[in-house]
Structure 1
Amino acid sequence: MTHEPQSRRIRRLDARSLRGLAHPLRIRLLSSLRLDGPATASQLAARLGESSGATSYHLRQLAEYGFVEDEPGRGKGRERWWRSVHQGTMTDEHLLLAQDPEVRGALSTLLHEYATQRAQEVSTWIATRHEWSREWVEAADTSEYTLDLSPALAAELSHKVHELVESYRTAAPQDGTPDAAKVRVHSHIFPVRPRTDDT
């Protein structure tokens, strides 16, 4: 479950909005608008390596489901700027536990695309870390842990991680702070089955 921070605009997904979002390009478009800011269909096409026709169509679909909207005060003539309506999405237990094959398929598409994006972000950091300052190279982290926990303790850990990350929003540096940058924080908590050496 994704914990909902009180200070942010979070879209709580239902079955309809989940199906509306569960397309790889739509997920990438929405992620780009949230991370990189408002853009036109042509700009997004260049960012993502897609045709502007495809980005235009899927932006309109995202707008129909309430995920994106026009950016006021920008655009000339037929040029249309888009922005994300919300800063994040939240998936509740009723969707995670849904038995409807269509809902389960949509959720699987969404989660797999998120996993792919996060892996690409880490790979990009590794490939470009030499372009960053020594302070950023030393500050960055790609740790992993294996713990023995019950479901209740795993849920408690997840909640505390979310609370800690959210607490840093109020500590964000002011404009003009030297070497400040957006920071991506990925969190994955899930059980694994030990491999057996069956022969």
Structure 2
Amino acid sequence: MTEEPEPRKVHTLTPHSLRGLAHPLRMQLLISLRRDGPATASQLADRLGESSGSTSYHLRQLAAHGFVEDAPERGKGRERWWQSAHQGTRLDETLMNDPDPTVRGAVGVYLHEVATFHATELSTWIGTQHDWPAEWAESSDISDYTLRLTPEITVELAAKVNELIESYRELAVDEDTPGSAKVRLHTHVFPTHYTE
């Protein structure tokens, strides 16, 4: 009998936690811990080109808002190791219309940082794909589509795309599987021309 994979821990942002995350360096720190695993403030500083004092301060702020935590199995000696407390973050759409302008401003910072990170990842792939085996270059995809839909149909489409991607988690292979790599998928669903 196959063992069910553990469900992913996803943090749904609240006005309070959003304020703690909506900072470019904090988002980079969290992304790095999720993508590359536990690290110390010094290692993250080297990785991101920051001072260890700065990364240490922002890691403590992330911890205060529940985004990162100690990595106890790594905590040997004096250096503190950090890890992400969740595998993902979900933005509650109601925050975009929050009556508090500082919350709406934090949503804007958060979404712009996500978009910037996605663009950077894609640009990095385009610039380095010649370093990868041919089968990886052939398996990648950069596509865009334009459809005329209603908001209700768009919600359904996005949900089905996300459901399909999630269904592939059970096919994920171990880290030491030869020929395997972490694969990133970005989804962006947004309107461009509106008919009243």
**Normalising to structure 1: TM-score of the pair?**
0.91
Distance in 2, Cα, partners of 1:48 & 1:193: 38
Q: 1:162-190: CA deviations, max 9, x gaps?
A: 10000000001235432100011000000
Structure with larger RCO (C-alpha < 8 A, sep 6+): 1
In the superposition, relative to structure 1, how do residues 111 and 175 fare at CA in structure 2: closer, same or farther (>3 Å)? closer
**Structure (1 or 2) with the greater helix fraction:** 2
Matches within 5 A, 1:29-108: 29-108=29-108
Distance in 2, Cα, partners of 1:176 & 1:28: 26
Distance in 2, Cα, partners of 1:97 & 1:27: 22
Distance in 2, Cα, partners of 1:177 & 1:27: 29
Q: 1:129-169: CA deviations, max 9, x gaps?
A: 01101110000011111111110111001000110000000
In the superposition, relative to structure 1, how do residues 191 and 12 fare at CA in structure 2: closer, same or farther (>3 Å)? same
Aligned-pair CA distance for 1:50: 0.7
Aligned-pair CA distance for 1:12: 1.1
SS in 2 for 1:83: strand
| Percentage identity across paired residues of the two chains | 62
Distance in 2, Cα, partners of 1:45 & 1:23: 16
Distance in 2, Cα, partners of 1:73 & 1:155: 41
Distance in 2, Cα, partners of 1:59 & 1:157: 36
Aligned to 1:151: 151
Aligned to 1:26: 26
**Normalising to structure 2: TM-score of the pair?**
0.93
Structure 1 alignment gaps of length 5 or more? 1-5, 195-199
Distance in 1, Cα, partners of 2:117 & 2:176: 29
SS in 1 for 2:193: coil
Aligned to 2:16: 16
Distance in 2, Cα, partners of 1:97 & 1:7: 30
CA root-mean-square deviation: 1.3
Distance in 2, Cα, partners of 1:21 & 1:191: 26
